A and B are shown apart, each in its own frame.
Chain A
Amino acid sequence: MSKNKLFIVALLLTVCSAAFAQKRVSGVVTGAEDALPLEGVVVSIKGTTTGTVTDARGQYSIQAPSNADLEFSCLGYETLVVNVAGRQTVNVSLAAESTVLDEVLVTAVGIQRTERSLGYSVTKVDADNAVQKAEPDLLRALDGKIAGVQVSAPSGDAGGATRITIRGNSSFLGNNQPLYVVDGVPYSNDGNSASGRGGDMGGALGSGIATLDPNDIESMSVLKGAAAAVLYGSRAANGVVLITTKSGAKKTGKRGIEITYNGSYATESIASLPEFQNKYGQGSNFMFAGSNGSWGPAFTEGATMDMYAAFAEYPDLATELYPNLGGKIPYQAYPNNVKDLFRKGSIMEHSLNVQSLNEKGNFNVTGSYTDQKSYIPGSNFDRYSFSIGGHQTLSFGLRVGGNLAFSLTDQDSPMYGYNQSQSELGGLSSLARAFIMPRSWDIQHFPYKTLDGSNLLFQLSSQANNPYWAWENDKILTQQKRIVANFNAGYDFTDWLSIDYTLGYNDYGRDRKYIINTGSRGYAGKGYINKGVYDSNQIESTLLLTADKTFGDLQVRATLGHNYNQSTATSFSASGLQITNKGIFAIDNTMSQTASEGYSRSRKWGVFLDLLLNYHDYLFLNLSGRNDVSSTLPKANRSFFYPAASLSFVFTEAFNLNKDILNFGKVRASWAKVGNDASPYYNNGTYVIGSPYMGQGLMELPTVLYDENLKPEFTREFETGLELKFFDSRIAFDGTYYNRVSDNQIGSKRSAPSTGYNSFVTNFGSIRNAGFELGLDVYPIVTKDFSWSIYSTFTKNKSEVLSLADGVEKIEVGGDFSTPKPVLMVGYPYGVLEGEKLARTKDGEPLVDPATGMYINDTETGIIGDPNPKYKTSLINTFKYKGFTFNFMFDFQKGGCVYSSYLTDLLGRGVTKDTEDRLGSRIIPGVYGNADTLEPYLDANGNTIPNMTAISESDLYFSDGTYSTYAINSCDEVAVYDATVLRLREIGLSYTFPKNWVKKIKLAGAEVGIIGRNLWFYAPNVPKYSNYDPIVNSYGETNVQGIDYTSAPSTRRVAFNVRLTF
Chain B
Amino acid sequence: MKRKLFNILGAVAAAFTLAGCSLDINEDPYAVTNLDMAQLLTATEYEVGYTFAEGHYLNANFSAYTHHTVSREIDNYSLVASYSTLGNTWSQAYRYAIKNCDELISAGDEEGNVIYAGIGRILRAHIYMAMTDLFGDIPYSEANNPEFTTPKPDKSADIYNDLLVSINKAIANFKDTEAANTLKPGANDLFYGGNVDKWLKAANTLKLKLLVQSRLAKAQINGWASELSSVIAENNFIGDGEDLQYPHSSALTPSDERNTGYVDEYQGGQKSVWISPWMYEIMKGLTYNFKANPLRGIEDPRCNYYWYNQSTATSDAVNKTDYRDGAFISIMMGSNSGFTSNTQEAAMTCLGIYPIGGKFDDGKGGKITSSDGNGIAPDKMLQAYSVPFMKAELVLAGEIQGDAKALLVEGIKASITHVNSVSKASDASVPGISSEATSIFTDAVTALFDAASAEKKMEIVMTEKWIANFYNPVEAYNDIRRTGYPILFTGDANNMAYTPYTQTVEAAQGLTPYNLVTILKYPRILWYPQEETTVNPNITNKGRVVSDKNVFWDVK
Which residues of A are at the interface with B, using a C-beta cutoff of 8 A?
A: 284-285, 287, 289-292, 394, 396, 398, 420-424, 426-427, 459-460, 462-464, 489, 491, 501, 503, 521-526, 539, 541, 543, 562, 564, 566, 577-578, 591-594, 597-605, 629-632, 635, 638, 680-683, 685-687, 689-701, 703, 705, 750-758, 760, 807-810, 817-819, 836, 849, 851-852, 857, 859-861, 931-932, 958, 960-963, 969
Contacts and interface: CB of A to CB of B under 8 A. Distances in A.
B32 A689 contact: yes
Contacts of B342: 284, 289, 291
A700 B13 contact: no
A417 B24 CA distance: 42
B23 A758 contact: no
Given A631-B25, A687-B32, 9 more contacts: A501-B12, A578-B252, A631-B26, A697-B188, A752-B536, A753-B94, A753-B531, A760-B149, A852-B517
A755 B23 contact: no
A603 B21 contact: yes
Contacts of B143: 754-756
Nearest to B18: A562
B364 interface: no
A602 B13 CA distance: 20
Contacts of A289: 319-320, 342, 505
B537 interface: yes
Nearest to A566: B21
B90 interface: yes
Contacts of A605: 21, 23
A377 B83 CA distance: 37
Interface stretch (B41-49, B115-123, B462-470): B41-49
19 contacts: A421-B269, A462-B346, A564-B21, A578-B252, A591-B252, A592-B252, A593-B253, A681-B27, A682-B26, A686-B32, A694-B247, A696-B39, A751-B149, A753-B94, A756-B143, A818-B83, A931-B518, A932-B520, A961-B341
Contact of A756 (B78, B94, B267, B345): B94
Contacts of A932: 518, 520-521, 547
A638 B26 CA distance: 12
Nearest to B16: A541
A503 B27 contact: no
Contacts of B83: 818
A562 B32 contact: no
Interface in B222-247: 247
B95 A703 contact: yes
Contacts, number: 312
Given A699-B32, A755-B144, A524 B531 contact: no
A1038 B537 CA distance: 30
Nearest to B186: A696
A601 B25 contact: yes
A1027 B150 CA distance: 48
Contact of A462 (B6, B269, B534): B269
Contact of B149 (A594, A752, A860): A752
B75 interface: yes
A807 B151 CA distance: 11
A287 to B, nearest CB: 8
A635 B268 CA distance: 49
Interface in B506-548: 515, 517-518, 520-521, 527, 529-532, 534-537, 539, 541, 547
A603 B22 CA distance: 8
A638 B23 contact: yes
Given A562-B17, A699-B32, A693 B95 contact: no
Contact of B341 (A753, A808, A969): A969
A593 B82 CA distance: 36
B17 A700 contact: no
B274 to A, nearest CB: 12
B163 interface: no
A421 B272 CA distance: 11
A557 to B, nearest CB: 21
Interface stretch (B96-104, B211-219, B299-307, B404-412): B96-104
Contacts of A603: 21-23, 25
A577 B32 contact: no
Q: Which 3 A-B pairs have the closest CB atoms?
A: A524-B370, A818-B84, A541-B16
Given A692-B255, A755-B149, A818-B82, A463 B270 contact: yes
A463 B268 CA distance: 9
Q: Which of A287, A290, A680, A851 has the most CB of B within 10 A?
A: A290
A860 B144 CA distance: 26
Contact of A750 (B94, B529, B535): B535
A251 to B, nearest CB: 22
Contact of B91 (A290, A421, A682, A753): A753
Given A289-B342, A961-B73, A807 B150 contact: yes
B318 interface: yes
A13 B252 CA distance: 73
A754 B21 contact: no
Nearest to A487: B12
A570 B426 CA distance: 42
A629 B23 contact: yes
B421 to A, nearest CB: 18
Contacts of A521: 269
A423 B103 CA distance: 33
B182 interface: no
Contact of B270 (A422, A524, A564): A422
Contacts of B47: 700
Given A424-B267, A462-B270, A683 B28 contact: yes
A599 B30 contact: yes
B442 interface: no
B537 A755 contact: no
A752 B46 contact: no
Contacts of A394: 2, 5
Contacts of B80: 836, 857, 859-860
Nearest to B148: A755
B253 A594 contact: yes
Contact of B95 (A593, A758, A849): A758
A849 B26 contact: no
Contacts of B22: 603
Contact of B96 (A284, A566, A631, A700): A700
A287 B530 CA distance: 41
Q: Which of B17, B72, B520 has the most CB of A within 10 A?
A: B17
A594 B532 CA distance: 33
B428 interface: no
Contacts of B270: 420, 422, 427, 462-463
Contact of A398 (B5, B38, B518): B5
A420 B72 CA distance: 14
Contacts of A601: 25
Contacts of B95: 703, 753, 756-758
B109 interface: no
B343 A423 contact: no
A757 B99 CA distance: 9
A851 B29 contact: no
Q: Which of A602, A604, A700 has the most CB of B within 10 A?
A: A700
Given A424-B263, A543-B17, A756-B94, A686 B28 contact: yes
Q: Which of A422, A564, A578, A597 has the most CB of B within 10 A?
A: A422
A636 to B, nearest CB: 13
Given A701-B99, A758-B95, A501 B81 contact: no
B538 to A, nearest CB: 9
Contact of B518 (A396, A753, A756, A849): A849
A852 B336 CA distance: 8
A551 B379 CA distance: 84
A698 B43 contact: yes
Contacts of A543: 13, 16-17
A578 B251 CA distance: 12
A755 B47 CA distance: 16
B139 interface: yes
A690 B21 contact: no
Contacts of B294: none
